[in-house]
Amino acid sequence: MARIVIIGAGMSGLAAAARLATLGHRVTVCEAGPTYGGEVGRYERDGYAFDTGPTLLALPAVYRDLALKTGKEPLEQLVALTPVEPESRHLFPDGTDLVLPNASRGGVAQALDTAFGPGSGERWSEVMNRARTVWEATRRPLLEEPLPADPTPLHTDPYPTAPRRGLARLRRTPPHTVAGVAATELGGAGPTALLYEYALRFGLDPRTAPAGATVLAYMEQSFGVWYVGGGMRALADAVFRRCEQRGVEFHFGTAVTEVLDADGRVTGVAAGERRFEADAVLSARAEDLPATRPGPARLTVLLALRGERPPGTAVRTVVHAGDSAAELRSLFDAAEFPRNPTVQVHRPDDPALAPAGHEAVTLTVTVPPGAAPEGYPEHLLDHLAAAGLDLRDRVHWSEPLAPGRPQPLPSLAGAGGGFLSPPNATGLTGLYRIGAAAHPGGGLARAGMSASIVAGLVGPA
């Protein structure tokens, strides 16, 4: 039995603690804050409740595996988990209204043909087929295994070159980016904005993100998205309970100030005057990570609405930017808050989140780090209204949450390795990195994957 200290009780810390305790180790978690869950937070007021971080679960297989490996119970026995149908509704500046089915690539193609004209679905499907090649090439090294000791093969983007037809054969080869894929393989403002949204949601600039980032759209449309009953915080509660069942010891309000070592090997951590001895330390602290390319932040606006959720309302509606090019320039070139940005509107059909007869809604926007301009949340409501989604008369109260630190980007192949996250192993024996800022990168599913990878590196007691 090894003594293991985990720094941080975010989702990666909880998942790693449950896995390592199940493997027979004595696990202690030190958390600087007052509670667990990290970005998977909760805000409650006047009977309304909101997720303050992720709102939907992608790749639920990550947490299904965690549930089975740490307790031999399916995830569905720990939380109420249901597929979201439809997967999303998209409102575009020209008035186009696109509804996408969940986990149905054929259904997506049909929806695009209806919204954008014949052939749109076929072109999108061809892009997704090439994105599947990326998935098959990178699934293991970028999601399931430690970063290779020699990551050079991942410096090349595995997105295959599309066949060039007609006049396209005379054009110069475009940059191998998401924007290049959209320009040469999709055509049309609507499909382009749809592809861009997947990149923006993860904090990626479509103009510089490698073409292989199309795998983000492929993964969601192939494996679907899921809603956790009671909100995503219920998932954090379930993993925390599993940790308690496995004997994990938690110390909240305990900020680790130093990782202790001797002779090149970790020996424990210091939290002020307190010392915790350890044979291995897993850290999600920014101090234990090398400098990485920061992404933009996320602005969240919580809306307590009067009146019932209209029947047939999509759980997720995306209102696309009034001017996509202007949004990218504002966000990535000028570091300014976009005037009419792409907005995700989260409207779960969950009576546990609002008083009877009322609705809890969350808006999320990709923005630069820092304070929002005065009146920006109100402007977002005007922007939604102009797109045909007017919530203004129903607002009982609203609560904007200040954008946090830049969001970690997902690990991606290509761009000379510029989108690879720091490896889990460090130069200090026994010290490992976990969390969204370490391999395999940002996102709730990847945080869970980092825990699984590091538990494998530590091994059983």
Residue 238 confidence class, pLDDT cut points 50, 70, 90: very high
Residue 440 confidence class, pLDDT cut points 50, 70, 90: very high
Task: Assess contact for 279 and 259: CB atoms under 8 A.
Answer: no
Residues 195 and 324 placed together within one structural domain of the fold: no
pTM score over 0.85: yes
Residues 245 and 345 placed together within one structural domain of the fold: no
Residues 391 and 431 placed together within one structural domain of the fold: no
Residue 187 confidence class, pLDDT cut points 50, 70, 90: confident
Model pLDDT, residue 175: 62
Which residues, in sequence order, are bridge partners of residue 283? 7, 433
Q: Is it the case that residue 228 has pLDDT exceeding 80? A: yes
Task: Assess contact for 339 and 212: CB atoms under 8 A.
Answer: no
Residues 174 and 308 placed together within one structural domain of the fold: no
Residues 164 and 239 placed together within one structural domain of the fold: no
Tell me whether residue 63 is in a domain: no
Residues 199 and 261 placed together within one structural domain of the fold: no
Residues 423 and 381 placed together within one structural domain of the fold: no
Residues 237 and 382 placed together within one structural domain of the fold: no
Report the mean per-residue pLDDT for the chain.
94
Which of 174, 198, 220 terminates a domain? The answer is 220
Residues 359 and 389 placed together within one structural domain of the fold: yes
Domain count of the fold of the chain: 3
Model pLDDT, residue 33: 96
Tell me whether residue 73 is in a domain: no
Residues 122 and 196 placed together within one structural domain of the fold: yes
Residues 354 and 320 placed together within one structural domain of the fold: yes
Q: What is the mean pLDDT of residues 237-246?
A: 97
For residue 348, what are the domain limits?
Answer: 296-401
Tell me whether residue 365 is in a domain: yes
Residue 165 confidence class, pLDDT cut points 50, 70, 90: low
Tell me whether residue 70 is in a domain: no
Tell me whether residue 99 is in a domain: no
Q: Is it the case that residue 308 has pLDDT exceeding 70? A: yes
Q: Is it the case that residue 172 has pLDDT exceeding 60? A: no
Which of 220, 243, 263 terminates a domain? The answer is 220
Tell me whether residue 75 is in a domain: no
Model pLDDT, residue 166: 54
Q: Is it the case that residue 82 has pLDDT exceeding 80? A: yes
Tell me whether residue 85 is in a domain: no
Model pLDDT, residue 1: 73
Q: What is the mean pLDDT of residues 261-269?
A: 97
Tell me whether residue 386 is in a domain: yes
Residues 450 and 305 placed together within one structural domain of the fold: no
Q: Is it the case that residue 171 has pLDDT exceeding 90? A: no
Which of 220, 243, 264 terminates a domain? The answer is 220
Q: What is the mean pLDDT of residues 147-168?
A: 84
